[in-house]
A and B are shown apart, each in its own frame.
Chain A
Amino acid sequence: MSVLVLVEHDGKSVKDATLAAVTAASKLGDVNALVVGNNADAVAQAAARIAGVSKVYVANSPALEHQLAEAVAPVAAKLMESHDAFVAPSTTTGKNIAPRVAALLDVMQITDILSVEGPDTFTRPIYAGNAIAMVKSKDAKKVITVRTTAFEKAAADGGSASVEQLDVPQETGGSEFVSLEASESERPELTSAKVIVSGGRAFGSSEQFHALLDPLADKLGAAVGASRAAVDAGYAPNDYQVGQTGKIVAPQVYVAIGISGAIQHLAGMKDSKTIVAINKDEEAPIFQVADIGLVGDLFKIVPELTEKL
């Protein structure tokens, strides 16, 4: 089976999410990679070094610069004439593009897979991860998105794939990029951080959220996350959100502070290697999944922890 992996990149480098997608794809067959962008040759060279990738297709065009789904999907769909499966990481880019590719191919997408059980059989979370479905696809071609925390990362070096330029049309499909307001942060990205400190509504205000969590995160070299309740209350921007409706993370250590542990939050972090919970309510559900718990007042504990680490 030949598999086409959509490379996640920012125009400069290949994102780690790609490496997990390559691992998932290699369980299905021979892996080729697709890089779409404008002047993305450096990214294509980097993709060619990923262990396990046989061939890299690169599509360069001003219309593809921002990887908008309307322009990318036809390029991927065309390339699928010579592939059996399309695999994208479940990032916002992948989630935007893959279903569009699936519809162009008249295929039902297999979303957010956790494992490859066979050439057409996969497991995937449903109901916010409260149930795991094993599904078998009857479509001749597969379109798959990958829960990147469920797969090991392929080695970023060691491969020596060939690179082929694709002829691409200059059509934008009615969609035009206006701007990107990137969250400015010196800290690691949530989805690739080794350590995450995450805060809930118990912080009481945006000021206290940042005054207490930021120094702790700096001390640990950690990314900062938030529960949906904290985001809804305006303590943190939405791209901090960990959970079913936010980001799915699986760091080495996840420190949940003032987070009760609603189902929807647990869905986003329960695959973390070690979970640490700090909460004043001894009965909080977060303690049922935490490896290490500390009951107490976060306003006392967090500064003390930051100081003693």
Chain B
Amino acid sequence: MKLLVAVKRVIDFNVKPRVKMDGSGVDLMNVKMSMNPFDEIAVEEAIRLKEKGVATEIVAVSIGPAKAQETLRTALAMGADRAILVQTDEEVEPLAVAKILAKIAEEEQPGLFILGKQAIDDDNNATGQMLAALLGWPQGTFASKVEPASDNVTVTREVDGGLETVRLKLPAVVTTDLRLNEPRYASLPNIMKAKSKPLATKSPADYGVDVARRLETVKVAEPPKRQGGIKVGSVDELVERLHGMGISK
């Protein structure tokens, strides 16, 4: 079975984002960029499925600027076999991303399409579900366990209040949650090898998808700041304050 994984180039999760002075967005100039952490988990899961002999080929896809090539090279160094960059300088919304990915899925005919559950920049948590809807495929979102069989995949999902297990007919879409796995680091030899793996460059127009935004950003602002309060010196003082707020039995 062929696997497709989608990866997004985003601000590194260790970097504190700063809102631009003019309120037009978040400043990404000279900021460290990395693969979206949930997408790393998606790539890792695909590689593990290949190592188990379930998957035969892994194709990594990214939609973004020319520099998203670096993100795809990371996926290739981790163990993906080839990559497709759909290059655009537009900020593409989940709906348009899902439309492009759906076209690629129609071409590539994967058994599973694995994506991160959300990107840590726009925090939408929508692309996987939209992709599944457009393809008419079932979806296993927020996965903490993925067990494919011959014509189905069993997915354990992290839901409010517990773990839900569903069985999906293949082909299907899976989105990853944090505990699915711990992504590996690419070794130096694999980073070297990744440089010669195939990477095709396309454009949204190649797939006939209009990437014009449906949501216009009016402005971006800092969140209201919370003021630090007081420090108490002892447990007794803390207890007194908590009693004062009426929260103890």
A residues bordering B, Cβ < 8 Å?
66, 68-70, 73, 91-93, 95-104, 106-112, 121, 125-139, 173-183, 189, 191, 194-195, 219-221, 228, 231-232, 238-239, 244-245, 247, 252-253, 263-264, 270, 274-276, 287-295, 301, 304-305, 308-309
Contacts and interface: CB of A to CB of B under 8 A. Distances in A.
Nearest to A181: B163
B215 A239 contact: no
A239 B172 CA distance: 25
B160 A247 contact: yes
B71 interface: no
B214 A133 contact: no
B19 interface: yes
Contact of B133 (A103, A129, A131): A103
Contacts of B237: 294
Given A100-B139, A175-B166, A132 B220 contact: yes
Contacts of A239: 158-162
A132 B222 contact: yes
B247 A195 contact: yes
A181 B26 contact: no
Contacts of B166: 68, 175-178
Contacts of A295: 231
B137 A174 contact: yes
Contacts of B162: 180-183, 239
B169 A174 contact: yes
B178 A245 contact: yes
A129 B214 contact: no
Contact of B159 (A93, A137, A252): A93
Nearest to A266: B226
A270 to B, nearest CB: 6
Contacts of B132: 69-70, 100
Nearest to A302: B235
13 contacts: A95-B141, A99-B94, A99-B133, A103-B98, A126-B26, A131-B26, A131-B221, A134-B217, A134-B220, A135-B218, A175-B139, A220-B247, A232-B178
A130 B133 contact: no
A181 B126 CA distance: 25
A25 B124 CA distance: 19
B120 interface: yes
A128 B223 CA distance: 11
Interface residues of B, number: 81
A305 B161 contact: no
Interface stretch (B1-9, B47-55, B104-112, B238-246): B238-246
B123 A107 contact: no
Given A131-B26, A239-B161, A294 B231 contact: yes
Contacts of A274: 245
A216 to B, nearest CB: 11
Nearest to A139: B214
A301 B235 contact: yes
A92 B133 contact: no
A270 B128 CA distance: 28
**Ordered nearest first, which 7 A-B pairs have the shortest CB separation?**
A291-B229, A99-B129, A103-B133, A108-B214, A99-B126, A103-B130, A174-B169
B236 interface: yes
B133 A135 contact: no
B232 interface: yes
A100 B142 CA distance: 14
A178 B120 contact: no
Contacts of A109: 94-95, 124, 126, 130
Contact of B226 (A108, A270, A292): A270
Nearest to B233: A294
A304 B237 CA distance: 12
Interface string B177-219: 1110000000000000000000000000000000001111111
B129 A137 contact: no
Contact of B17 (A68, A73, A130): A130
A276 to B, nearest CB: 7
B70 interface: no
A99 to B, nearest CB: 4
B80 interface: no
B219 to A, nearest CB: 5
A92 B157 CA distance: 10
B247 A121 contact: no
Contacts of B160: 91-93, 189, 191, 239, 247
A98 B129 CA distance: 8
Nearest to A112: B123
B138 interface: yes
B150 interface: no
Contact of A308 (B177, B232, B236): B236
Contacts of A91: 160
A219 B248 contact: yes
Given A125-B123, A181-B164, 8 more contacts: A69-B132, A99-B127, A103-B133, A128-B120, A131-B17, A180-B163, A219-B249, A275-B229
A95 B98 CA distance: 16
A291 B230 contact: yes
